[in-house]
Each structure stands twice: as C-alpha cells, then as structure tokens.
Amino acid sequence: MSIFPTARDVRTTPEGLLWEPSRRRVRGLKGDVTVVDSRHPVLVWEPGVPVPLYAFPHDEIREDLLRPAKNPPTGTHTGSDIFYDLEIDGLSVENAAWTFPGEDLAGYIAFEWFRRVGRGLDHWYEEDEEIFVHPRDPHKRVDALPSSRHVRVEIDGTLVADTRRPVLVFETGLPTRYYIPREDVRLDLFEPTDHSTGCPYKGTATYWSWRSGNGGAGTSGGSAVPPNVIWSYPEPLPAVGAVKDLLAFYNEVVDITVDGEPVERPVTPFTESLTREEAG
C-alpha cells in the first residue's frame, strides 16, 4: 500500500460503500466527554450521499458508553442493523452509533454528528481544528480567490449588488460563488434573520432575506424570492479567510452577470430546498 493517499486507496464493499483510511487524528465529544479519540479513522461514503462520514476502530472509542439500541431504526444507513445508544451521566442519545455490514468495515463504529442530523456527538476535531456538519472530503477542494471581475446581481429586475472587487469561491461539485463587499450590496433591501448554517470548509454562516414589499417580491405571501438568499461568514476558517464579512447570493434564485455575461442559474443540491421555501 502506498505511503500517501491516492485514488487507489478508495475501496468498495459488496454493499456499495466506498471507504479509505485517513491519516488525520479525529476526536468526537459529547459535551465535555471525549467519546472518540482516533488516529486510525476511515472515511466512508454511502451510496447516493455526497459527503463522507468517519468510522473508528473499537479500541479508539469509549465503548463503555455504548448500549445496544432500544429502538434501532431501519433504512438510515447502508445495510446497517446494529445500532447503539450513547449514555453519559444519565443522558441517553438514541441511535448515536452504528456498525456497517460486511467484512471490510468489521471492527469499526460510526457516529452521528449533531450539527448534521440533530443527534449524536456535539463537537468534532480534525487534529486541533474544530469541524462542523460532516468530515472534510479529501477529494474536494475549496479556493477563495480575490478577483477584479465585474459582478452584478439582480432580483426581479432590481440591481442589488455591483462590484469590481469580488472574491470568487471555487468549490468542487458546486457552482462558483461570488462574495461581494458589503459596501457594494444594497443591504438596505434585506433584513437579517436568525438562520445559520455550518460548513466544514468555510465555518458558520449568517443570513439575510429579501424584504417584503421590494417591488412586489418578498419573503412571504407568495414571494418569488426564498428566505435567507444572502449569507456571510463573519469568522471564516483560515483556508477561506478572504471571504470574511463578504456577502454571497444563491445563484440558484437570483440573476448574476459577470463581465457582461449572464450566469445561468445552476441546479444544485440546494435547488430543491430553495424552491420548497419559495413555494411555502
């Protein structure tokens, strides 16, 4: 086996799982209790799921905190039928962990991430940096590049942003995102919301919605614009520090022009949820 990870390190199980060893130290905590401290994790991709998760050798987790699940689910993870409840100081978290079927991943246990599914371990670290929602995919790249392109954003014919100093974020599997200085955005046409999301590559985002009554569009009452159409990272992770406090729009639901050329509205994993919010 090669010393460094390559495409050949990715392996396939008969159940259709993809997996590969990771060289990162990974820790998972529930509150202040360290449940996982692993130097030999594996990354696992389930069929049809675009992001990976971690599984860990038994001897690198606190198995004394696990109990056979009282109400194991069905169909939540590929072929899995062995689940565990996590019990810490009288607190029980149902179906917090599970094992995968087959020989390839025998001896490993996976855990849910609270920020992803609403249960499981609260805090995760790769080396000493906290990560959120799901593990970082080693086959995915995120670059934040300052640019002098001319970017204009319109909503229902109203010009809401115009800049020649954007930061372009290129993220594998997603459309280019255009991050714009606040001074170049008509932020008076939007209102902050209490919505937030976490990203393992960029950090925690805050959001704004299009104000109702802006030329017939709004965030309610049959609005043509879904809520939380703008986001920003006030404290981005170091790798994308160039986007700090800049504002980005969902390409999926606004009209963006770059250097005079209209950008086609993409279809992404976010399209369905944005459309559903719009219809609601």
**pTM above threshold 0.85:** no
Domain ranges of the chain: 7-131, 142-279
The span from the CA of 168 to the CA of 14, in Å, is 40
Residues 6+ apart with CB under 8 A from 185: 153, 160, 161, 163, 230, 247
* Whether the Cβ atoms of residue 110 and residue 134 lie closer than 8 Å to each other: no
Backbone angles phi, psi at 241, to 5 degrees: -60, -20
Q: What is the mean pLDDT of the chain?
A: 89
Residue 114, pLDDT score: 83
Q: Does the pLDDT of residue 274 top 50, yes or no?
A: yes
Residue ranges in the chain assigned as alpha helix (H) = 114-117, 271-279
* The domain defined by 142-279 carries CATH number 2.170.150.40: yes
- Give the tens place of pLDDT for each residue, 230-265: 999 999 999 999 999 999 999 999 999 999 999 999
* Whether the Cβ atoms of residue 26 and residue 114 lie closer than 8 Å to each other: no
- Give the tens place of pLDDT for each residue, 106-146: 999 999 998 787 888 999 999 998 888 899 999 999 999 99
Instruction: Retrieve residue 209's tokens.
Output: 């919605």
Could you tell me the pLDDT band of residue 4, with boundaries at 50, 70 and 90? very low
- Give the tens place of pLDDT for each residue, 159-194: 999 999 999 999 998 999 999 999 999 999 999 999
Which contacts qualify for 89-93: CB closer than 8 Å, 24 or more apart?
89/33, 91/30, 93/30, 93/119, 93/120
Q: Does the pLDDT of residue 5 top 60, yes or no?
A: no
The span from the CA of 149 to the CA of 132, in Å, is 31
Say which CATH superfamily domain 7-131 falls into: Domain of unknown function (DUF427) (2.170.150.40)
How is residue 233 annotated by DSSP?
A: B
Residue 90, pLDDT score: 87
When pLDDT is averaged across residues 9-33 and rounded to a whole number, the result is: 92
- Give the tens place of pLDDT for each residue, 26-55: 999 999 999 999 999 999 999 988 889 999
Residue ranges in 67-190 assigned as alpha helix (H) = 114-117
